[in-house]
Amino acid sequence: MTSGLLITFFITAIVLVAAGILAAWLLAPSSFNKQKSQPYECGIPTKGTSWMQFNVGYYLFALLFLIFDVETVFLFPWAVVMKTIGMTAFVEILIFFVIIVLGLAYAWKKQALKWQ
Amino acid sequence: MMSITFHQAVFYFFSAIIVIFSILTVTSKRILRAATFLLFVLLGTAAFYFILNYAFMGALQITLYAGGIVVLIIFSILLTSHVGERFEPIGWGKMIASALVSLIGAGFTLYVLLNADFIPTQAPLPDASVKNIGTALLSYERNGFVLPFEVVSLLLLAAIVGAIVIARKEPHDTENPNNE
């Protein structure tokens, strides 16, 4: 039965990993040092938290990333059927792209992609 | 124990993940951690789509919600100056009131769900494979969606222009914009 096989597979996987971690935990010599919890073992001591306020400039890039992310989602189904549909699909995606690239050109023209 | 099929086990596993991380999201005292827990909730939801054989929706959920929206939420949090602050503890009155409201909501939902007559349909399931979606999306014949597909690009164009206009501040020195 497939499901029984899959359950056996998952249990074996979990047991193997857990056994490895447990063995390492039992066998390894343990010592505590404050330095160990630092992000870098050497170098300049860290100052403050890593959760700091970001420059607002990043937000525009996040927004643009999200828009092109949405565009990528529409590329998935197109890529799957591109070969079977052929030229029509190619022309359709070309129109799609030309309109999107207008947005990219606008961003470029407005120097929104430039770091400031 | 043996009566539970593998399918059900997977379903309960991801349900548990969603429930646990949803609770952690709303109870976390640090807002950035709440956003990270939300990511796991969205990934668990994506797992449900994959369980239902709706791979396109699952991929969409991961790329857009887990990959895009959470990034945007985390960015919005990091842009504020109160990133590292902990939330103030909530008073008992508020806690009891919100617990009451959510319990009433959950009870009402359960009541409706348990009393609903779900009639199993005999019609064949719609084919939601990526291939079928792609064919429908690019078809310009009857029941094709090529016009909405192209309109989506216009919508995205509007979103790009809007994002730039709103989020970017104009350089004050218009004659020399590089001087900003």
A30, part of any domain:
yes
A92, part of any domain:
yes
Considering Cα of B88, then B92, then B93, then B99, what sign does the dihedral take?
positive
Determine the structural domain holding residue A46 and report its residue range: 2-109
A2-16, A21-35, A102-116, B98-112, range with greatest mean pLDDT: B98-112
pLDDT at B180: 39
CA angle, residues B60, B66, B67, in degrees to nearest 5: 85
Q: How far away is chain A from the Cα of B37, in angstroms, using its nearest Cα?
A: 16
Q: Are A111 and B173 in contact (CB under 8 A)?
A: no
A102, part of any domain:
yes
Query: Rounded to two decimals, what is the model's pTM?
Result: 0.72
Long-range CB pairs of A96-101 (<8 Å, 24+ gap) are A96/B149, A96/B150, A96/B152, A96/B153, A97/B153, A99/B150, A99/B153, A99/B154, A99/B156, A99/B157, A100/A68, A100/A71, A100/B153, A100/B156, A100/B157, A100/B160
pLDDT at B21: 95
pLDDT at A57: 73
Neighboring chain A residues of B134 at a CB cutoff of 8 Å: 76-81
A114, part of any domain:
no
Residue A28 has pLDDT above 90, yes or no: no
Q: Are A80 and B130 in contact (CB under 8 A)?
A: yes
Q: Does A52 or A16 have the greater pLDDT score? A: A16
Tell me the sheet residues that pair with B30: B86
Checking ipTM against 0.85, whether it exceeds it is no
Q: Which two tokens stand for residue B139?
A: 């078809």
Which residues does B110 contact at the CB level (< 8 Å), separation at least 6?
none
Interface test with chain B among A2, A9, A51, A60, by most B beta carbons within 10 Å = A51
pLDDT at B108: 96
pLDDT at B74: 86
Long-range CB pairs of A4-12 (<8 Å, 24+ gap) are A4/B6, A6/B6, A7/B6, A7/B9
The CATH number that applies at residue A19 is: 1.20.58
A115, part of any domain:
no
pLDDT at B18: 95
B9: exposed, middle or buried (C-beta count within 10 Å: 0-12, 13-18, 19+)?
middle
Q: Give the total number of structural domains in chain A.
A: 1
- Cβ-Cβ contacts under 8 Å between A and B: the total is 142
CA angle, residues B155, A96, B63, in degrees to nearest 5: 70
Average pLDDT of adjacent 10-residue blocks, chain B of 180 residues = 74 94 89 90 93 88 90 84 73 90 95 88 79 83 84 91 80 48
Neighboring chain A residues of B133 at a CB cutoff of 8 Å: 77
Give me the domains of chain B, ranges plus CATH numbers.
6-87+127-167 (1.20.120.1200)
Cα B163–chain centre separation: 21
pLDDT at B179: 43
Q: Does A46 or A32 have the greater pLDDT score? A: A32
